[in-house]
Amino acid sequence: MRFETKTVHVGEDPDFRDGGSGDVVVPIHLSSTFARSKVDEPTAGYEYSRSGNPTRDALEARFAALENAKYGLAFSSGMAAEATLCFSVLKPGDHVVAFDDLYGGTRRLFDRVLAPNAGIEFTYVDARDCENIRCGLKENTKLVFLESPTNPIMRLCDMREASDIARERGIITAVDNTFMSPYFQNPLDLGADVVLHSTSKYMNGHSDSIGGAIMVNDEELFRAIKFNQNAVGAVLSPFDSYMVLRGTKTLAVRMRAHAENAQKIAEYLEPHPKIDCVHYPGLPSHPQHELAKSQMSGFGGMLSFEIAGGLEAARTFLENLEVFALAESLGGVESLIEHPALMTHASIPREEREKVGLGDGLVRISAGIEHPDDLIEDLESALAHVG
């Protein structure tokens, strides 16, 4: 079954069993608990919605199908997915190697929650060169955590090579695939053990649901994550499960529009005299453009750029936009723009941001699906206010 067909049908086969209504759309099962006729036999396997819910089950089946995985799990947020993964594969004294350019919330979880409270050690490396991953490994390394492309500088890691390096030592490789979505990239097919998503972004696609996902192939790892998810209660609600199911149905057509608009925006910005640098894997000038072509089927809807003049120029530019919404998050049908140093990555200390090249002039765009000419005209108008 091809991707576009999976997004519409997996998990939502009409129920023609006795008593089934033939719903084309899976019902929203809002019940918190499920009655049974026999004491020791849960009805259809359901006991309590934290442990299992028919609407969430449908979404989890679709998650697995979209990432070519055996198992999928739906979480209450992307951060809940990351935290549950870490609780499932790490213990005090363990070590993690991670890409040095990561989403600010991930760094906050690692550095301000897991390191001081769980005794987990983290080493951040420039994973554009996989030898840095190898050099960062220790005897107690249990996890390699990657984003590719990274948030927000759009750096890539060769996931095949990184996964091979980790596998040689029996280390789990996890990849946050939020930026690309399963439409453009499938890390499990490239050797990773775990794929994570913030489904608040492209999977849902309409900026009206918070959620997360994990997809894996290994049954033992799946069971461990599922046990901990149930134990801590980090599950997606039935209503949000329905919202994401609905959103995934248009994932393919949306991603094509996002990528087309991002490409046009990047090509407009790259030669602009008020822009120092554009970070987008779809540009031939991107230093990892060839790698992008080898492990992605498209370049996605995310890009970032460095505006000449630093913070004040960025502030002036951002506050003069009309079509772009100045807001955190990404992946919705509307175009969003933000200032990482003051918004999504503000929790990372300045010296750490500067170390990875995240300066005060960096601006991040999530290209929506509006007409590209309107988006470019809005950017041009705002840039005209920059001295």
Active-site residue list: 50, 103, 176, 201
For the record, the structure tokens of 181 come out as 């979505």
By C-alpha distance, which of 222, 179, 251, 293 is closest to 60? 222
Length of the chain: 387
Q: Which long-range CB contacts under 8 A does 320-323 form with residues at least 24 apart? A: 320/381, 320/382, 320/385, 321/378, 321/379, 321/381, 321/382, 322/378, 322/381, 323/370, 323/374, 323/375, 323/377, 323/378
18: Cβ contacts below 8 Å, ≥ 6 apart? none
Half-sphere exposure at residue 180, Cβ-oriented, CA atoms within 13 angstroms: 30
* H-type alpha helices, the chain: 3-9, 54-66, 78-89, 104-109, 115-118, 130-136, 159-168, 181-184, 219-232, 238-248, 251-269, 289-295, 310-318, 350-355, 372-383
* H-type alpha helices, 71-218: 78-89, 104-109, 115-118, 130-136, 159-168, 181-184
Contact 327, 215 (CB under 8 A): no
363 has which bridge partners?
305
What does the alpha-carbon distance between residue 303 and residue 285 come to, in Å, rounded to a whole number? 13
3-state secondary structure of 187: helix
With tokens 């960062």, the residue in question is: 136
For the record, the structure tokens of 77 come out as 């947020």
Kindly report the backbone phi and psi dihedral angles of residue 144, in degrees, each rounded to the nearest multiple of 5, phi listed first: -110, 120
What does the alpha-carbon distance between residue 363 and residue 305 come to, in Å, rounded to a whole number? 5
Contact 298, 259 (CB under 8 A): yes
What does the alpha-carbon distance between residue 328 and residue 284 come to, in Å, rounded to a whole number? 28
